[in-house]
Amino acid sequence: MARWEPNASQRLADAALELFAERGYEDTTVLDIAQRAGLAKSTFFRHFQDKRAVLFGEDALIEPLVTAIAAAPAGAAPLEALACGFDALGRDVFTPARRAFTVRRRAVIEAHPDLQEREALKGTSLTASTAGAMARRGIPDLTAGVTAQLGALALKMAYERWSDPGNTEEFGNVARQALGDVQAAVSTM
């Protein structure tokens, strides 16, 4: 590819995942990624801090989730406001066009304990942001925290189901089903 072609960030991310799958995460360098993408090493560092940032760059989940929770109808119960957030993730983040990338990303992370730890930390941040969004809706802190924790579980389930190579459903549907499954399990306690 020519260096001037657009979408350098996505090209670098795609090249990184290809190389991680071929060589392994540890045996792939930033220079390898840049060369595979047809770009200079300096271009890589304009888009990512290091090779781990390709997998964990800006957290694209927080903003659409929190914004949709805030925009949920005023009378929406906490889990329904959360479902509105999951719908936004399906529209803005977990799109059909991103499925193949997400499947490959998930495989790389599952193969490395250090990356799994980083993924868990990002999940903790997302849960805290969700609880904050719920609290800003006037939901009491305990309920906001429990809703956020249940949401984190449902989101993890939805992500695993949606990124399964055999899945063909849209993320919003998968996420609402996962949230319903969590809600049903809690109601039987």
7-35 pLDDT, tens digit per residue, is: 888 899 999 999 998 998 999 999 999 99
Q: What is the pTM of this model?
A: 0.84
Angstrom distances, CA of residue 60 to CA of 40, 104, 125, 180: 25, 17, 12, 24
Q: What is the pLDDT of residue 5?
A: 58
Residue 4, pLDDT above cutoff 60: no
Is residue 3 pLDDT above 70, yes or no? Answer: no
Tens-digit pLDDT profile for residues 94-111: 998 888 888 888 889 999
Condensed to tens digits (0 to 9), the pLDDT of residues 146-166 reads 999 999 999 999 999 998 888
CB 179 within 8 A of CB 151: yes
Q: Are 130 and 147 in contact (CB under 8 A)?
A: yes
Tokens 């006037």 belong to residue: 138
Q: What is the 3-state secondary structure (H, E, C) of the chain?
A: CCCCCCCHHHHHHHHHHHHHHHHCCCCCCHHHHHHHHCCCHHHHHHHCCCHHHHHHCCCCCHHHHHHHHHHCCCCCCHHHHHHHHHHHHHHHCCCHHHHHHHHHHHHHHHCCHHHHHHHHHHHHHHHHHHHHHHHHCCCCHHHHHHHHHHHHHHHHHHHHHHCCCCCCCCHHHHHHHHHHHHHHHHHCC
pLDDT at site 56: 82
Instruction: Please state the separation of Cα 47 from the chain's center in Å.
Output: 18
pLDDT of residue 36: 95
For the chain, which domains are there? Answer: 8-55 (1.10.10.60), 60-187 (1.10.357.10)
Q: What is the pLDDT of residue 59?
A: 74
Mean pLDDT, residues 58-70 taken together: 89
Residue 182 tokens read as 């969590």
Pairwise CA distance, residues 61 & 88, whole Å: 9
Is the model's pLDDT at 1 over the cut of 50?
Answer: no
Summarize the confidence of residues 67-77 as an average pLDDT: 96
- Distance of alpha carbon 125 from alpha carbon 119, whole angstroms: 10
**pLDDT mean across residues, the chain:** 91
